[in-house]
Amino acid sequence: MERGKSWVDYYGNKAVRIPKQRYFCWTTVMCALCLLTKADGCPAHCTCRESTGIVTCQSLRERTVPTDLPQWATTLVMRGYNITTLLMDTFSPNGTELELVNLSLSGNNIQIIEAYAFLGLVRLESLDLSHNRLVYIAAEAFGGLHKLHYLCLNDSSLGFAVVQVSDALETVRLRNLKTLELSGNQLTTAPIANLDALNLEVLVLTNNSIQTVGKEDVSSLYKHDNMRVYLASNPFKCDCELEGFYIWLTNSSQCPDASMLQCSDPHRKKGIPLEKLRRGDLDCTNTSLETESYVFLSIVLALIGVVFLMVLYLNRKGIKRWLNNIREACRDQMEVYHYRYEQDSDPRLANVAV
Ligand SMILES: *[C@@H]1O[C@H](CO)[C@@H](O)[C@H](O)[C@H]1NC(C)=O
Ligand SMILES: *[C@@H]1O[C@H](CO)[C@@H](O)[C@H](O)[C@H]1NC(C)=O
Ligand SMILES: *[C@@H]1O[C@H](CO)[C@@H](O)[C@H](O)[C@H]1NC(C)=O
Ligand SMILES: *[C@@H]1O[C@H](CO)[C@@H](O)[C@H](O)[C@H]1NC(C)=O
Ligand SMILES: *[C@@H]1O[C@H](CO)[C@@H](O)[C@H](O)[C@H]1NC(C)=O
């Protein structure tokens, strides 16, 4: 570069004109900044610890995931981002395989997870998506996570999206998934049968709104007898519907927090531990007997009604005749009464007439 010439001459750019010395100063500052942030190839907003392999990123406005992770990174922790949507290939947009083993995306306002969002994370074993607000999870969302061992979806306002989670897990058949945490999602049903295709060892369903565990879920529990299920802090409705689950619970060691399960409905059983109930307390014999007898009674009544209608129909002529006879008999009677009345009503008149 020639002395005294302005930088703009080299690029033919007429918009900006920076004198040489000021440019020099500016580049020095920029390079210093670059070196500070990129000294060890650490992405912006992140701190990197090569000795532990952990990259921790924190930002309150940033909307995109850092993709320029150092090669040695095995753990990525992100907090406070405003990600909203995890698109396909979010973590390795150019198709390279990453070394990440643990990925924690807790509390990043993630709402939508599109298909193959985690592609390239071939070594990922642990994925934490807790404290987000998931509304949509694509069927192939977890595609490519062949080694995934642990998935946490605590406090993610799953609600209806829980069906999408079980569909997604079933679609991509995560054979290695052992632990699934779904605590604090206001789930109203236990998605146990839905997860039948997996070989889970730990399923956490605590702090939800589960009132009962249905028949299919109970048979799934019997089937997966090496799976542990955590169910504390759910408002169980202790009626007959719960019987199958109750029998399983009292004769199984699969529920480590069994002693913490309580009834919250009906009112007179509120707060009673499920384990302390006696089988008769579930009101099963009575209710089933009652319903059965009601059904039986209605059938009998219906049959009687049908028979009665048939008799009426078959005898319609006889009935008509009979009705006519009655009518005539009535008329005769009425005439007799009328006559008598006329005779008895005014004896004086009768006397006069006589
Ligand atoms: C892919 O991205 C990584 C990190 O950004 C980079 O180091 C690598 O060179 C890129 N590979 C290709 C093929 O572009
Ligand atoms: C996150 O991003 C969305 C979409 O751009 C925006 O509407 C919202 O205000 C952002 N939230 C925060 C906390 O910055
Ligand atoms: C999810 O919730 C369960 C039950 O409260 C808890 O044991 C587990 O540590 C939580 N997971 C995370 C990552 O916070
Ligand atoms: C239970 O779940 C709700 C969300 O449904 C959450 O706000 C609350 O902190 C959770 N409680 C515990 C003890 O984890
Ligand atoms: C309880 O479990 C044992 C074996 O685990 C089984 O033999 C027994 O029949 C079960 N009892 C009931 C009432 O289901």
pLDDT in tens, 91-107: 998 888 999 999 999 99
179 or 312, which is more confident?
Answer: 179
246 CA to centre of ligand 5 in angstroms: 13
User: Is pTM beyond 0.95 here?
Assistant: no
The answer to whether the CB of 181 is under 6 A from ligand 3 is yes
pLDDT of residue 313: 84
Q: Which of 38, 67, 96 to mutate to test the pocket of ligand 1 (most atoms within 8 A of CB)?
A: 96
Residue nearest to atom 5 of ligand 1 (CA): 68
Are the beta carbons of 151 and 105 closer than 8 angstroms? no
Confidence bin at 34 (pLDDT 50/70/90): very low
Residue nearest to atom 6 of ligand 4 (CA): 184
136 CA to centre of ligand 1 in angstroms: 30
Residue nearest to atom 8 of ligand 2 (CA): 82
- Which residue do the tokens 């004109």 mark? 17
201 CA to centre of ligand 3 in angstroms: 15
Residue ranges with strand state E in the chain: 46-49, 54-58, 75-79, 84-86, 102-104, 110-113, 126-128, 136-137, 150-152, 179-181, 202-204, 228-230, 236-237, 263-265
Mean pLDDT of 291-310: 83
Q: How far apart are CA 34 and CA 143, in angstroms?
A: 36
Residue nearest to atom 5 of ligand 3 (CA): 183
Q: Which of 60, 79, 82 to mutate to test the pocket of ligand 2 (most atoms within 8 A of CB)?
A: 82
pLDDT of residue 312: 82
Confidence bin at 160 (pLDDT 50/70/90): confident
248 CA to centre of ligand 5 in angstroms: 9
